[in-house]
Amino acid sequence: MYSIGELSRATGCKVETIRYYEKIGLMPEPARSVGNQRRYAEHHRERLHFIRHSRELGFTIGDIRELLELSDQSQRECSAVDALARRHRDAVQERIRSLGALRDELDRMIAGCQGGDVAHCRVIQVLGDHGLCRQEHA
């Protein structure tokens, strides 16, 4: 059995976050000691690792809730899990595309800067007028 502090150290998850996950129902209620302290079992640690790893991969709380519900149905086909993972992958791919466009725009701004003083800096000009940026590359 773990205290909340021990669970926090074992998982690298802050105490406040553990309490939050309990409050929103991602973590099951732990047993309580005679002194009313939370006492966590090994399954709590495993579930918290699952939640943390899912968060590190960018899954939303809603997605994690769905994944946990599906993982509690071990005999069910995994097609729903696959579909959720595919949706998340597609969203990640879209973010990558968007970040690539952002990088390209920053490269254009930097390349357009001829040096000199800040009053004539191309980066400052483009950042000051987003419409200018869109017009030039439309």
For 52-77, b/e burial (b = at least 16 CB within 10 A) is bebbeeebeeebbeebbebeeeeeee
Report the number of distinct structural domains present in the chain.
Answer: 2
β-pair partners for 39: 31
Which one is predicted more confidently, 82 or 72? 82
Q: pLDDT tens-digit profile of 84-104?
A: 999 999 999 999 999 999 899
Residue 92 lies in a domain: yes
Are 88 and 120 within one domain?
Answer: yes
Check residue 27 and give its pLDDT: 94
- Per-residue pLDDT, 132: 53
- Say which CATH number the domain at 19 has: 1.10.1660.10
Q: Cα–Cα distance between 34 and 28 in angstroms, integer?
A: 19
- Rounded to 5°, angle at Cα 73 from 83 and 44: 105
**The pLDDT of residue 8 is above 70:** yes
Identity of the amino acid at 63: D
Indicate if the pLDDT at residue 110 is higher than 60: yes
Range of the domain at 88: 81-136
pLDDT band at 131 (very low <50, low <70, confident <90, very high): low
Q: What pLDDT score was predicted for residue 127?
A: 76
Mean pLDDT over each residue of the chain, to the nearest integer: 88
Task: Assess if residue 29 is contained within a domain.
Answer: yes
Q: Is residue 71 part of a domain?
A: no
pTM exceeds 0.85 for this model: no
Instruction: Report yes or no on 74 lying in a domain.
Output: no
pLDDT value, residue 87: 95
